[in-house]
Structure 1
Amino acid sequence: MSQPRQPGMPYPRLPLPQAHEDLAAFQQWLGEAIPMVGALGIQSMSQCTSQEGGSLTWQLALNPNLNDKGTGFGGALTAQTTLQGWCWVTLWLRAQGRAQDVVVAEASQRFLAPVTSDYRIICTPSDPQGPEQLAEKLNARGKGSIALTQQLYCGDTLCLEANGRYAVLPVA
């Protein structure tokens, strides 16, 4: 790992992929670029591009995210869903050959059931046309935003649903 992060100093970008994204390399870079990632319990990432807009799925361990009641800590789950949306947009941009910054503009969560075991979070566009609309905005104005939905499941139980809007900033 490189030197510890310093406030105000951007972390170097991961080079754009030549073909398909290496998600293990992306996850390693993510842990270096955002130090708290190592504490979130992300076991693996996978992408599915067969559905409209594609999905990003994370498998996560509950133990690093326990609260005082022995269930998932809401703050950790919120951080995970927000970060996963950021990753979805960043990976989508990388697949388009774009190296642009992404920021979260809005985020909300609805807690539906306690998280009691290892779990998975699935991130998809809120609107199936969202990626196409984002591409049009980026081509026309160099910036844009997209709404994403994250759903957290323990087995078949939907425990949390989050929604966020992520902004793609113009190239500086």
Structure 2
Amino acid sequence: MPSDTLYLESVLHHDIPLTREMGLKVVDWQQDQLRLHMPLQANINHKSTMFGGSLYCGAVLAGWGWLHLRLREHGIEDGHIVIQEGQISYPLPVTQDATVICAAPEEKVWKRFVATYKRHGRARLALDTWIVNEGSEDRAVTFTGQYVLHR
């Protein structure tokens, strides 16, 4: 596992203990995408599918983790990331282990976010996350989160 993925998993498990109970693992990090793994068994509900609250947490954490790592790569480590707002949709059930994916926003959006933060000490960024059943490309969950970075 590359050092960035180990680093983020350690941060999540230490700073957000719930992630340990959820069995959340950081699978892969590239500048344009973060992938997390969530096991069904640790997040199962009474219908033998993944609990909606776990899916929401996974989606929020993928965006938070993506932003945390991208800021670290750009040498910005003086801010605090919080989720301000989130919109989620559950079009398909998650019936097995899940992969949570957060992708980069457009480059111009990213550059504006960084410039705003450097100028004002506060900036907002919308990130899209989706969740698929392991081995599938069909989006079982879609999420858009509004994240705020502040000093």
TM-score (norm. length: structure 1): 0.79
CA contact (8 A) 2:4 2:69 kept: no
The aligned amino acid for 1:111 is: Y
Task: Measure, in 2, the Cα distance between the counterparts of 1:45 and 1:133.
Answer: 28
Task: Measure, in 2, the Cα distance between the counterparts of 1:43 and 1:29.
Answer: 11
Q: Note the alpha carbon deviations across 1:34-66, whole angstroms, 9 max, x for none.
A: 1111012223331122xxxx1111122111110
Local SS of the residue matching 2:92: coil
Match of 1:129 among 100, 108, 120: 108
Match of 1:77 among 55, 79, 85: 55
Equivalence for 2:30 = 48
Cα-Cα RMSD: 1.6
Identity between Structure 1 and Structure 2 (%): 24
Q: Larger RCO: Structure 1 or Structure 2 (Cα < 8 Å, ≥ 6 residues apart)?
A: 2
CA contact (8 A) 1:62 1:118 kept: yes
CA apart distance, 1:29: 2.6
Equivalence for 2:95 = 116
CA apart distance, 1:138: 1.6
Unaligned runs of 5+ in 1: 1-19
Q: After superposition, where does 1:1-172 map in structure 2 within 5 Å?
A: 22-49=4-31, 54-99=32-77, 100-154=79-133, 155-170=136-151
Task: Measure, in 2, the Cα distance between the counterparts of 1:43 and 1:88.
Answer: 14
Task: Measure, in 2, the Cα distance between the counterparts of 1:88 and 1:22.
Answer: 11
Task: Measure, in 2, the Cα distance between the counterparts of 1:165 and 1:58.
Answer: 19
Larger Rg: 1
Shifted more, 109-118 versus 93-102: the winner is: 93-102
Alignment: residue pair count:
147
Task: Measure, in 2, the Cα distance between the counterparts of 1:134 and 1:160.
Answer: 26
**Misfit runs of 4+, over 3 Å:** 125-128
CA apart distance, 1:162: 0.4
CA contact (8 A) 1:41 1:62 kept: no
Unaligned runs of 5+ in 2: none
Task: Measure, in 2, the Cα distance between the counterparts of 1:164 and 1:105.
Answer: 8
Shifted more, 126-135 versus 110-119: the winner is: 126-135
